[in-house]
């Protein structure tokens, strides 16, 4: 960002930052409130935003062991580890063909994938429960993994297709003339270039998988196999009074995605903004 046209009058510059800061505070306050509640000694009546007199991390131990958040986190990770690589592979293959080859009817197929962006979980969850139960895939991580992959594929395919469309066609042509097979072109030439797009897509898919709630609530009714959000939702129903432990559980559920967001914030933000644009 160069500063030529950008030099604002001092007053306008500061009022701009003041406005941004007010908005930022509005975003942060809820997080701060729940965090401060989570470090109050257990059993203290907590009111709004209260600085704890004594910092206590016992609620985290409590939530981790008693409320079973270690299992919940583990289950969420198992599902994400199933969903992310499979989504990347399937989307790369499909995006490669739809983005670089002249397939008969290729545009229609691409449009068919994109149409899936409008499918809300509500629309598919009811028959999924009965169909997957028939296959023995309810209360199983595999069932959730397969459905999540399918649910994120419209976006994933579109994302990778756009990526491959934007890589120079001459690269592909040159390799083709040298006699490289489509598989070789993908593996040797295009894939190394696709790294940033794949990273962003992987992070987005991980995030969506981590956030998924309704699907898990329906497909995994066995509470000992719940994921982090489902467990938290269930915990709320069971435990409305113990605010510090509930707050600690909430922070625990947020933490993994928060850590990733801090590390990869650029990829996340680019993905969320561009991804929305492409959708």
Partner 1 sequence: MPSRPPVRPPGTRGRSPWRGYVYVLPAFLVYVAFAVLPALHTAYLSLFEWDGVTLGEWVGLGNYLEILQDSVLRRSVFNALVLVVFFSFIPIVLGLAMTGLLARYRRPGMGAYRFLFMLPQVIPLVAVGVTWRWLYGDDGLVNQAFGAVGLDGVTRAWLGDFGAALIAVGLVGTWVLSGLCMMLFLSGVQKVDPNLYEAARIDGAGPVREFVSVTLPHLRGELAVAMTVTTVAALASFDIVYVTTNGGPGEQTTVPGLLVYRLAFSEGKVGLAAALAVVLGLLILAIVYLINRLSRTET
| Footprint on residues 138-177 left by partner 1 (CB under 8 A) | 146-147, 149-151, 153-154, 157, 176-177
Using CA atoms, how far apart are residues 141 and 256, in angstroms rounded to an integer? Answer: 19
Residues 6+ apart with CB under 8 A from 148: 79, 83, 208, 209, 212, 215
Task: Please state the closest distance from residue 152 (CB atom) to partner 1, in A.
Answer: 10
Q: Is 124 in the site for partner 1 (CB under 8 A)?
A: yes
Nearer to partner 1, 4 or 53 (CB): 4
Residues numbered 50 to 79 that lie near partner 1 (CB under 8 A) are none
Helix (H) and strand (E) counts in the chain: 14, 0
Nearer to partner 1, 56 or 216 (CB): 216
Nearer to partner 1, 56 or 98 (CB): 98
Q: Is 43 in the site for partner 1 (CB under 8 A)?
A: no
CA dihedral 150, 154, 156, 157 (to 10 degrees): 110
Using CA atoms, how far apart are residues 177 and 106, in angstroms rounded to an integer? Answer: 23
141 touches 75 (CB < 8 A): yes
40 touches 237 (CB < 8 A): no
Nearer to partner 1, 42 or 126 (CB): 126
Among 51, 54, 108, 118, binds partner 1 (CB under 8 A): 118
Residues numbered 197 to 216 that lie near partner 1 (CB under 8 A) are 207, 210-211, 213-214
């Amino acid at each position: 960002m160069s500063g030529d046209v950008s030099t604002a009058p001092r007053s306008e510059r500061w009022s701009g930052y003041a406005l941004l800061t007010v908005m930022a505070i509005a975003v942060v306050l809820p997080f701060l409130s729940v965090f401060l509640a989570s470090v109050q000694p257990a059993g203290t009546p907590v009111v709004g935003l209260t600085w704890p007199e004594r910092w206590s991390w016992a609620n985290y131990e409590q939530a981790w062991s008693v409320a079973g958040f270690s299992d919940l986190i583990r289950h969420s990770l198992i599902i994400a580890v199933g969903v992310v690589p499979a989504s990347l592979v399937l989307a790369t293959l499909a995006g490669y063909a739809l983005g670089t080859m002249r397939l008969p009817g290729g545009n229609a197929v691409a449009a068919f994938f994109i149409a899936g962006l409008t499918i809300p979980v509500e629309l598919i969850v009811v028959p999924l429960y009965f169909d997957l139960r028939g296959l023995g895939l309810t209360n199983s991580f595999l069932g959730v993994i397969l459905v999540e992959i399918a649910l994120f594929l419209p976006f994933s395919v579109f994302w990778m297709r756009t990526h491959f469309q934007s890589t120079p066609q001459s690269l592909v042509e040159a390799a083709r003339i040298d006699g490289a097979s489509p598989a070789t072109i993908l593996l040797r030439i295009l894939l190394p270039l696709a790294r940033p797009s794949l990273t962003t897509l992987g992070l987005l898919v991980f995030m969506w998988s981590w956030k998924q709630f309704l699907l898990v609530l329906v497909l995994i009714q066995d509470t000992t196999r719940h994921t982090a959000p489902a467990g938290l939702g269930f915990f709320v129903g069971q435990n409305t009074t113990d605010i510090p432990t509930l707050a600690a559980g909430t922070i625990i559920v947020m933490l993994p995605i928060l850590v990733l967001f801090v590390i990869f914030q650029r990829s996340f933000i680019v993905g969320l903004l561009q991804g929305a644009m492409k959708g």
